[in-house]
Each structure stands twice: as structure tokens, then as C-alpha cells.
Amino acid sequence: MKDKMSGVRVLVGTRKGAFVLTSDAKRQRWDVSGPHFAGWEIYHVKGSPADSNRLYASQSSGWSGQLIQRSNDGGKTWEAMDNKFEYDGVPGTHQWYDGTPHPWEFKRVWHLEPSLTDPDTVYAGVEDAALFRSTDGGKSWQELSGLRGHGSGPHWQPGAGGMCLHTILLDPSDQGRMFIAISAAGAFRSDDAGKTWRPINQGLHSQYIPDPAAEVGHCVHRIAMHQSRPGTLFMQKHWDVMRTDDAGESWHEISGNLPTDFGFVIDVHAHDPETIYVVPIKSDSEHYPPEGKLRVYRSRTGGNEWEALTKGLPQRDCYVNVLRDAMAVDSLDSCGVYFGTTGGQVYASADAGDKWAPIVRDLPAVLSVEVQTL
């Protein structure tokens, strides 16, 4: 618990640049800097847990493709790093939307996950789905091709956002163990630092694939972990909120009394591994909150029993979405919770979700939100 920390830095990726929002530990007054990389899509910005001044950003555009930016001073200055993401060997094919084979093609980096211990090691989840790693601070990238090549790749297919590897979770208790998730393939685990992988989707049920309980093909939207309990994972799937307590060997549903179990984000309270958050979205075709009411739902029981958190959030005429990488928590004594919307608002709660207020209201559509506790 970081009760003597000085404040927080919120890293926001948007459709037209990155923004850095900073505050002291009270989290009431905010400084806003940006746009950084103005005009470019910033899918993700994340800081190294081992060095808070080391940030990585995924910068892309339809004109000029993918760039990786690195900062060594907490986002004041940036340097373009290597952007050569070359699949290992012959890439092969995955399923297209109509089920036909489609060649693997690199499109963009969705998610950057810095190592827990080494600022120069960072993982990149990309579209078309694959996992890359840099061990030299982004100067070069190598694919961890055991994931894409383990055998089920021809059965993976894109979700509406593309066939993206969007979630990377590193186990703090076991350097060899990591989890990733792909839309639409499912969740996978490695126990040997990314060399070999296997799908961990038992218990998932998806009506939109021919065999609803298939080994792969599930549209996992997001997975979250509490650092103190790395064998317990929480998942927001296309439909259904799920939980595993055995590192993915089996999943069970915890949607309980949610108004809809469709959604994108899911996260865990910094100090209570049984307190989790989701933002229910009406359906896969209606990407906005039910009834036009933006509500975060919190469960203090690890799922099934959920309460709506509404104070400070719009409760009428709200039709924004909250995308999968756009929720984060800080680790101050009273846990802060943050999320961004496609309407350009970034909301913060300094009291674990009881009350909310916008930090900013009018950014470009928010793609990702990360928080550093400084």
C-alpha cells in the first residue's frame, strides 16, 4: 500500500494523440499535458513498474503505420524506437470473418506491457495477433512465435476491432508464467517465459462459434489480475463475466445481477483482490450503456453480487463506450479508479468508486487509460 506516495500520473491514449494527467495524492486538481503525437492514434501508453520515468507508447496512423515511442523522463520528451515487427517464419493464415483462410498481416500494436523488473524489457501485443518482446528498451523486437505457432492459429478469427492480442499479464510470483488474450481466439498461458503456450478456455461458452465450448475461438475482451493472487483471473468476455481460481484451468461465470454481461473493461481494486469493477455495455451491436446511464458496477465478493456506482456519472442520455484498455486503478491508500470513454471523458474516483468526477471532458475518443502511482 503506497500511502506516502506523492501522486498519480494518468496516461491516456486517444484517437488523435496522448495526454498525461497528473495530480497529487488528493486527486482533486489535475494538470493536463498534451496532445503528444498530435493527430496519431495512440492505442496504449504504459509505464515501467521498475522505473516510473520509463514510458512506452504505441503510435500509429493509417498513413504511416506503426511507431513505438519511449520516454525516459516521465513523458516530457520522447524518442522513436524500432518499429520493425516481423513475424517469425511463414506467417500462415487465420480465419477471416466469413470463415475463409486469410494471411497473417501486421497492422498495429494494441498493448505494451513493460516487465515487472527490467525497464528495458517490454512485451507488445499486436494485430494480427502475435506477441513480441524487446529486451533493449524498444530498439529491436522479436516475436515469441510459440504462441502463434502452437497449432490453433488457423482457427483464430478477428473480432469487430480486428484480430488483436490486447491483454498481457505477467505473474509477479513466477517469472516464467504469463497470460495473454486475443479477440477472437481466447486466453492462453505460458509457463516458460513465452516459449510455449496453451489455450486456457475451459468453461467459456460462446454462442457465436460453431462449438460454443471450443478450445479456441472465444472473443475475450479483457482479463485482470490482482498482484497478490496471480492464480485468480477475472475476464470480461464478449458476453459473460468470468472467473478462474486455478490460473485458467477452468472458468466459471460471475455475471450475477449485472444489467447486461456484455462489456469491455474489467479491473481489480488495488488492495482488495475480491473487489472488481466492470462497465456494462448494452450489447454487441449497441455499444453504449443500458438505458443511457453510465454506471460502473462493483462487486466486493469477487463477482455475482454487483452494485451500481453512479454518483458523478451521467444518468441520462449517455451513449458512449468504454473500450477494453480504458480502465485502470492506482495504488494509493484509498484506491483510485479511472476510466475513459469514446466521448472523450476521463472519469476518476478517489474513493474506490463511491464518487466520480471527470478529469477532462472533451478529449478525442479514449482508447486506453493507465495509471502510475508516483
Partner 1 sequence: MIRVELPAHLRTLAHVGGEVKLDVAGQVTQRSVLDALEARYPMLRGTIRDQVTHQRRPFIRFFACQEDLSHESPDAPLPEAVASGTEPFLIVGAIAGG
Binding site for partner 1 (CB under 8 A): 38-40, 61-67, 80, 83-84, 86
- Measured from the CB of residue 67, what is the shortest distance to partner 1 in angstroms? 7
Nearer Cβ to partner 1, position 68 or 329? 68
- Measured from the CB of residue 78, what is the shortest distance to partner 1 in angstroms? 10
Nearer Cβ to partner 1, position 66 or 206? 66
Nearer Cβ to partner 1, position 83 or 93? 83
From residue 320, give the alpha-carbon distance in Å to each of 110, 129, 282, 288, 301.
21, 27, 11, 5, 28
- Measured from the CB of residue 214, what is the shortest distance to partner 1 in angstroms? 34
How would you write the chain as a 3-class SS string?
CCCCCCEEEEEEEECCEEEEEEEECCCCCCEEEEEECCCCEEEEEEEECCEEEEEEEEEEECCCEEEEEEECCCCCCCEECCCCCCCCCCCCEEECCCCCEEECCCCEEEEEEECCCCCCCEEEEEECCEEEEECCCCCCCEECCCCCCCCCHHHCCCECCECEEEEEEECCCCCCCEEEEEECEEEEEECCCCCCCEECCCCCCCCCCCCCCCCCCECEEEEEECCCCCCCEEEEECECEEEECCCCCCCEECCCCCCCCEEEEEEECCCCCCCEEEEECCCCCCCCCHHHCCCEEEECCCCCCCEEECCCCCCCCCCCCCCCECEEECCCCCCCEEEECCCCCEEEECCCCCCCEEEECCCCCEEEEEEEEC
Nearer Cβ to partner 1, position 35 or 353? 35
- Measured from the CB of residue 55, what is the shortest distance to partner 1 in angstroms? 17
Nearer Cβ to partner 1, position 35 or 314? 35
Nearer Cβ to partner 1, position 64 or 301? 64
Nearer Cβ to partner 1, position 84 or 311? 84
Cα–Cα distance, 61 to 71 (Å, whole number): 20
Nearer Cβ to partner 1, position 31 or 105? 105
- Measured from the CB of residue 80, what is the shortest distance to partner 1 in angstroms? 4
- Measured from the CB of residue 63, what is the shortest distance to partner 1 in angstroms? 4
- Measured from the CB of residue 18, what is the shortest distance to partner 1 in angstroms? 14
- Measured from the CB of residue 157, what is the shortest distance to partner 1 in angstroms? 23
From residue 28, give the alpha-carbon distance in Å to each of 4, 9, 227, 295, 336.
17, 13, 27, 21, 11
- Measured from the CB of residue 124, what is the shortest distance to partner 1 in angstroms? 14
Nearer Cβ to partner 1, position 66 or 244? 66
